Amino acid sequence: MFPKLKMRSWLFSFTLCLLLLAGCSPDGMDEDASFAANRLTTGISGKDLLTSTNFDRVFFEIVYVEGHEPSYGAIQNLLDFTKDRCFKPGGVNYSLTAIPDPGKSSLGIREIVDLEEQYREYYNRGNTITVFILVVNGRSARDEGNAVVLGTAYRNTSFVLFEETIRRFSEEFISNDKTVLESTVMNHEFSHLLGLVNLSTPMQSAHEDPDNPSHCETADCLMNYRTDAGLRLGALSFGGVVPSLDEQCLADLRALGGK
Give the model confidence (pLDDT) of 58-83 as tens digits: 999 999 999 999 999 999 999 999 99
Q: Mean pLDDT across the chain, nearest whole number?
A: 84
Task: Provide mean pLDDT across the span 184-203.
Answer: 96
Calculate the alpha carbon distances from 52 to 40, 71, 86 in Å: 20, 28, 8
- Between CA 139 and CA 68 the distance in angstroms is 13
- Between CA 38 and CA 72 the distance in angstroms is 26
Tens-digit pLDDT profile for residues 48-61: 999 999 999 999 99
Task: Provide mean pLDDT across the span 80-98.
Answer: 98
Task: Provide mean pLDDT across the span 182-204.
Answer: 96
Phi, psi at residue 221, to the nearest 5°? -80, 145
Q: Which of 138, 157, 135, 116 is nearest to 70 (CA)?
A: 135
Instruction: Give the containing element (helix H, strand E) for 155.
Output: strand 151-155
Tens-digit pLDDT profile for residues 141-190: 999 877 889 999 999 999 999 999 998 888 776 555 689 889 999 999 99
b/e per residue, 42-73, with b = 16+ CB within 10 A? Answer: bbbbbbbbbbeeebbbbbbbbbbbeebebeee
- Which domains occur in the chain, in start order? 18-256 (3.40.390.10)
Tens-digit pLDDT profile for residues 100-141: 999 999 999 999 999 999 999 999 999 999 999 999 999 999
Verdict on whether the full-model pTM lies above 0.95: no
Higher pLDDT, 194 or 177: 194
